[in-house]
Amino acid sequence: MVLLEHIRHRYDRAAVLNLPHLSIAQGEHHLVLGRSGSGKTTLLHILAGLLRPSEGRAVVAGEELGALRGDALDRFRGRHIGIVFQQMHLLPTLTVEQNLLLAPYMAGLPQDVERAREVLNSLDVREKAGSYPHELSVGQRQRVAIARAVMNRPRLLLADEPTSSLDDLRAEQVLGLLRERAAAHEATLVVATHDARIAGAFNHRLDLDDAPPTVSADASRATEANDVLGQPEDQPER
Ligand SMILES: Nc1ncnc2c1ncn2[C@@H]1O[C@H](COP(=O)(O)OP(=O)(O)O)[C@@H](O)[C@H]1O
Ligand SMILES: [Mg+2]
């Protein structure tokens, strides 16, 4: 599970995030909404332990992130947190399979080629294992980025604006894949977006445009456990 308490962050003088409390049960899927500049990436970076908040505490998978330093923090992140960055960050000089194997390597885990192939297979890009990122379509790169993020079976899967550069169909597919892969690993999923098309796709939402940010959950909806995998129960209006 994820717990944030009294989080405030400022890069220089102006506060960019003020979040008194956020608690996410293991396996829940949450959407972080807000206009550009509202602090979504900042929040994701705090959850990933990539950024220390100016104030407050963050607990992920039972660990207080603020208590971890240097290598220990990097190892913890590598083992328990999967991140799909906006810019995907695939290494251009490595093949798809090597990009995936970098995840266990960085986390100090054994190289597991079988696991890499299984993950690529689950994301329908198995045949691209030996290709380089520039040889893939945007959609395939996105799948590989998701594959790398779930490679180490993370407890927390984070995705930053995963759909903003995609057309409606691809956006829906990527969201479906994230939900499906998170569910397969019983991972908590947190997706940040300003993409109004997907605002209705998750039943837990955190809206950073409100001050203080508001948390909402649709009790009328099925819980994630009952959702059809990969089929957000409410498709956005087209
Ligand atoms: N490294 C940084 N240094 C200074 N200001 C930053 C930095 N990163 C983000 N900001 C500012 O913090 C605010 C929130 O940014 P961000 O978290 O990226 O928002 P979002 O992802 O919602 O667009 C913005 O005003 C942005 O300009
Ligand atoms: Mg952002």
Segment 188-233, tens digit of pLDDT: 999 999 988 888 888 899 999 988 888 888 754 434 333 333 344 3
Which residue is closest in CA terms to ligand 1's atom 24?
A: 37
Rounded distance from Cα 34 to ligand 2 centre (Å): 9
Instruction: Work out the pLDDT band at 76, boundaries 50, 70, 90.
Output: very high
Rounded CA gap, 81 and 152, in Å?
8
**For a pocket test of ligand 1, which of 7, 8, 12, 16 has the largest count of ligand atoms closer than 8 A to its C-beta?**
16
**What ligand 1 atom has the least distance to the C-alpha of 44?**
17
Digit-coded pLDDT (tens) for 5-58: 999 999 998 899 999 999 999 999 999 999 999 999 999 999 999 999 999 999
Residues lining ligand 1, Cβ inside 6 A: 11, 16, 34, 36-42
pLDDT > 90 in the chain, percent: 69
**What ligand 1 atom has the least distance to the C-alpha of 208?**
22
Domain spans of the chain? 2-226
Q: What is the pTM of this model?
A: 0.89
Residues across the chain:
238
Rounded distance from Cα 140 to ligand 2 centre (Å): 22
pLDDT higher than 90, residue 172: no
Two tokens, residue 63:
């660990």
Burial class of 57 by CB neighbour count within 10 A (0 to 12, 13 to 18, 19+): middle
pLDDT higher than 80, residue 145: yes
pLDDT > 70 in the chain, percent: 92
Which residue is closest in CA terms to ligand 1's atom 4?
A: 11
Tell me, what's the pLDDT at 64? 97
CATH assignment of 2-226?
Answer: 3.40.50.300
Helix (H, G, I), strand (E, B) or coil at 89: coil
**What ligand 1 atom has the least distance to the C-alpha of 36?**
23
Tell me, what's the pLDDT at 219? 58
Q: What are residue 32's DSSP bridge partners?
A: 192, 206
Q: Which ligand is nearest to the CA of 213?
A: 1
Tell me, what's the pLDDT at 213? 86
- Amino acid occupying residue 193: T
**For a pocket test of ligand 1, which of 9, 11, 33, 47 has the largest count of ligand atoms closer than 8 A to its C-beta?**
11
Q: Which ligand is nearest to the CA of 42?
A: 1
Tell me, what's the pLDDT at 156? 97
Rounded CA gap, 180 and 158, in Å?
14
Rounded distance from Cα 86 to ligand 2 centre (Å): 8
Q: Which ligand is nearest to the CA of 45?
A: 1
Q: Which of 134, 123, 178 is nearest to 156 (CA)?
A: 178
